[in-house]
Amino acid sequence: MFATPELLPSPTRALEAKLVAPTLSPQASMRKYTYIPLLLNPVVNLDDDDDSNEPTAASILLEMAQLQHHAESPRARKRCACKVDGCTQISIRYGLCSAHGGRYVCKVEGCSKLVTKEGVCTAHGGRYYCIVDGCRKQRLKSGLCFAHGGVSYCIVQGCTKTRQKRGLCKSHGGVALCKMSGCDKVSNAKGLCRDHGGVTYCNTPGCQNLTQRGGLCRKHGGFTYCQVRNCNKGAIKGGFCRPHGLGKSLD
């Protein structure tokens, strides 16, 4: 049995009642599509004498859905730009992006590294380990470390080297090439090879040496030696070179 137009509420009054007093009826507030029968009932027709500016049931439903979507979407509230003038990066914390101090740093006192897990950085235990029982190595892919197969190999048949770019290892062309037309050399920086300007120089005024670490060349402090006595290799991590990085022996 179809409902008559006299028994159906006006779309405008229904919208006003929902916006002004949305908590009058908990059961009614859970029904998001109360007025869909207005669109499907063939008996209900708008009078020709009605004002053309009068909102229809379809426009009311669309407006209600848009308002509810913006109110419930967390990304609409959280994704805002950094409050520093001229910065277009997305803010992370305190209205600031990562570059302007809004990043999450390790909770260990004196450590300024980024958080990786449970509020601490990788150096202080915030790392994800291999899912193999008893393995304490850091996982790389699919929850596995390098030793247990958490790597991707070159797609060339018979090659067991790890792939770098385009599914290929370095031996089979898996490297980034210089973006200059006709140049087939490996890119070094900014997508360019050394011959086309893909180098970075020391930040010290007047110095034309290449940078080593921290924007400085080897002469101006961009290089540190291994802490192990009589070792003249450069420190890579934790003050030790690669051979001495595991044992950390000072002998």
Q: How far is CA 120 from CA 91, 125, 141, 246, in A?
A: 21, 7, 21, 21
* Tens of pLDDT, residue by residue, the chain (251 residues): 455 555 555 555 555 554 444 444 445 444 444 444 444 444 444 454 555 566 677 777 777 777 776 655 555 555 688 888 888 888 877 788 877 777 788 888 888 788 877 788 877 777 788 888 888 887 777 788 878 877 888 888 888 888 888 888 888 888 888 888 888 888 887 788 888 888 888 888 888 888 877 788 888 878 888 888 888 888 877 788 878 876 554 44
Structure confidence at residue 46 (pLDDT): 47
Structure confidence at residue 29 (pLDDT): 47
Structure confidence at residue 9 (pLDDT): 54
Structure confidence at residue 82 (pLDDT): 84
pTM above 0.85, yes or no: no
CB 60 within 8 Å of CB 66? no
For 146, the token pair is 């390098």
Structure confidence at residue 249 (pLDDT): 47
